[in-house]
Structures are given as structure tokens and as C-alpha cells.
Amino acid sequence: MEETNDPKLRSWIEVSPDSDFPMQNLPYGVFRRPGGLPAVGVAVGDWVVDLARLHEARIFADLPQVGNENCFARAQLNDFMALGKRAWEAARTRVSELLRSNNSTLRNNEALRRKAMVRRADVEMMLPAACGDYIDFYSSRHHASNVGIMFRGPASALQPNWVHLPVAYHGCTSSLGVSGRDVRRPNGQLPPAAAGGLPGFGPTCELDFELEVGFFVGTGNDDGRPISTAEAADAIFGFVLVNDWSARDIQRWEYQPLGPFLGKSFATSISPWVVPLAALEPFRVPGPVQDPPVLPYLRYRGDWAFDLNLEAWLTPQGTGDAVRICRSNLRLLYWNALQQLAHATVNGARRRPGDLLASGTVSGPTRDSMGCMLEITRNGADPLELPGGIRRAFLQDGDSITLRGWCQGPGYRVGFGECTARVLPAA
């Protein structure tokens, strides 16, 4: 697959050097034209290439891995994901070949080009997969330490199990929303105002975002058969940005002894374009040293952190001016994707095509690299100062959060687009 990552590749489609979607990326998404049916497409520059129309034109007819049935004429990527790595590689190579500057097959076929290409600005993006299970990890040591120090003190910042396994909880798949869908402030039980008092009820006063990256499982596993770290790379389809919205006061009251529930389940936003693992291969780097050594099933070979720049931008209600409030990097993540998938299946639990596993908040050691308001403002004690005298301890109605992520290559960037949502008042 190295040829699809060649920095020298150029397309006959004009692509700006600062575009998130150059030839070296080719992310998959599910889109809908005005009045049309959903279909699977690939983003390149400002365009979407309709893979369903290419399949109808028999562009993939000589690729037995992709199959005779049009797996791209779907409202989700699941059928394509289920075909496995050989099919993903074959389709990616074919699309790359079609778009190269020295290939005239699609460029000179005006009728097919009109059918198969549409501007990204003219389509509606949809959830890229039907997600059966959603797991949210707690894999950033900086994040876990920052939060632990806040609530338990430096001596007990990390729970005893944290350095031995990727801590996680099961999220709510029905609350997954694609970028652009508004998020409504949740109601719930609120902590008592004084020790021994009764809880209150109402809208959360501590609405928060979380800067995360998630991956979709492509091919899963059978009941009772774990996916090892050696097999995990072949089972991972691609990555998206994730904002697992949090109501910190609701969460604080409910989470003991079983963990997050209503403080998390009301909304999770993801970016619409799924960046294939193949596109991220050139950006693999060493991750943090894991000490103490992990158990054998969590050991892996090679470098499996990613030099992926991450940012969070806040647009306060009524201003229209976005302010960057966080800049982090996925290479800081203590537990990597191979370990997350291996741990999520080590008990024999099934993972299926379209399952989503998220990293948890990706934070760094400094205030400007912390990936949520809880950390940035020290649980509201040190509010964020924004231009125009605006202050934020947590998010207010009308505020918008936008996550961005990209890997920087020589003369190009492999980006994720945006994951954005606006806060609506409670019902």
C-alpha cells in the first residue's frame, strides 16, 4: 500500500496544499445528494467520488476482493468493512489510480465524471457506519493523572489498575451523531448542595467536551476468539475524531460504584470522514514507555502511536469567533489502538464491523494541551479567559465546539475535516 502514500502523488483534480483530503488520504464517508439516496464516497480536495456510481460502471469489476454486489450503494460502510483488508487495499489502490494525474480513465470520461463526482459543499454527510457497540477508553495518562490529582490528590492520582489495562466503559450507540448535529444540554440528578443532603434535578451546569480519536472495527471476531495485538491492525478499518460530551455534575453524582451512565450517554459527536489506517501508516511513531511491563496479551511489535495533531476550538454564543483552547497530539496516548482492541476482545466478546472504539480524552502536560474543560479550568475553579472579556468554566448554551485533526506530511496533510456541534438549551 506504500504507493498510495507516496508524497509525490498528484491528482488531475486540483487539491490545495492545506487540504485535509489529498491523494494520500482518500477517506471514506457516507453522503447524500439533494433528493438522492445515501452512498459511499471518497473525499479528494473539494470533491466526493461516488463509489456506488463507479461500481455501476464496472470500475471494480476485475477486483474479486470487492465482489460483484455493489457494497457502496449503502447508507453505511458496514458491508464494505466486512469484506476485510484485501478488499480495502484493492479499492483504495483502484481509486488512487483513477485520480492520478497520469490516468485519463475517469478524467476523460465526461459522462461518468458527471455521475460519479460531486462537490463536498453540495452533499449531506451522514453517520459513516451502523454502530452496534461503542466503547470509550480512558487511555491518556496525562488526562487520567490530571483528573485524579483534582479529585484524589497526587498520591492517588491513578487507580492501581490503570497502568495494567486500558480502562473503558460502554457508551450509548443511539446517541452517536455526525458532525453538524446540535447537542441538547441534558437534564439529570445533580449532586446534593451539602453532605447528607438530597440531590437536585435539572439541566447540567457543567457541560463539557472531550477531545478524542476513535477507530471503526472492520472485520470482527467469532464468539470466544480474542483478537490479538498481532491481528488487530488487519481488523481496524479507519479513524475518526470523537467528542464524547460530558455532564460533569451528573457524572460525579452517579458514577460510583459502576461508572459513567447518564452523564455521558446523551451525546457523542464524530467526524463524517473515516481516514483509513493505510493513510496513517507514514505517521506511526513510538508511543510512551509503558512501565511496569504489560501482560503478554497486551504486548505488540513496532511503533503504534500516531503523530496526529489535535485541536479543540470554542465559538462562544453570539460571537461567531472561534478560539483555539487546546492543542494536543495522539502520540501522547499511553494505550494504543492495538491494545484497546486486544483488551476489548480478550474475554471472548465479539466485535463486529462498524463497532466504534474511542481513545478517551487526549491530553498533554500543559494547560493549553488539556483536552476538556474539566482539566483546562480545574473543575471550574480557574475559568478560561477568552477575547472580549468572555469567561468559561464550562460550556454555555449557544457555544460551539469544533475538533480538528491532521498528520503533516512533506507538502501535504492527511486530515480528518471537522467534528463540530452547537449546544442547545435543555428540553
Peptide bond into 257 cis (omega under 30): yes
Topology match between the domains 2-126 and 134-424: no
SS3 149: helix
Number of neighbouring beta carbons within 10 Å of residue 155: 7
pLDDT tens readout for residues 277-294: 999 999 999 999 999 999
Q: Which of 192, 205, 174, 189 is nearest to 250 (CA)?
A: 189
pLDDT tens readout for residues 173-227: 999 999 999 999 999 999 998 888 999 999 999 999 999 999 999 999 999 999 9
pLDDT reported for residue 67? 85
Mean pLDDT value of segment 395-414: 97
Mean pLDDT value of segment 353-365: 98
Catalytic positions: 143
Q: Confidence band (pLDDT; 50, 70, 90) for 1?
A: very low
pLDDT tens readout for residues 217-265: 999 999 999 999 999 999 999 999 999 999 999 999 999 999 999 999 9
Residue 212 corresponds to which cell in the numbers above? 478524542
The string of DSSP letters for 314-380 reads: EE-TTT---EEEEEEEGGG-SS-HHHHHHHHHTTS----TT-EEE------SSGGG--SHHHHTTTT
What's the DSSP call for residue 382?
A: S
User: Is domain 2-126 annotated with CATH 3.50.50.60?
Assistant: no
CATH architecture of 134-424: Alpha-Beta Complex (3.90)
Q: From residue 213, how far is each of 11, 265, 275, 388, 401 by CA, in Å? A: 28, 18, 11, 31, 15
pLDDT reported for residue 195? 85
Give, in degrees to the nearest 5, the angle at Cα 334 between 329 and 338. 100
Asked if pLDDT for residue 298 goes beyond 80, the answer is yes
**Can you give the pTM of this predicted structure?**
0.97
Ranges of each domain in the chain? 2-126, 134-424
Asked if pLDDT for residue 357 goes beyond 50, the answer is yes
pLDDT reported for residue 2? 67
pLDDT tens readout for residues 148-176: 999 999 999 999 999 999 999 999 999 99
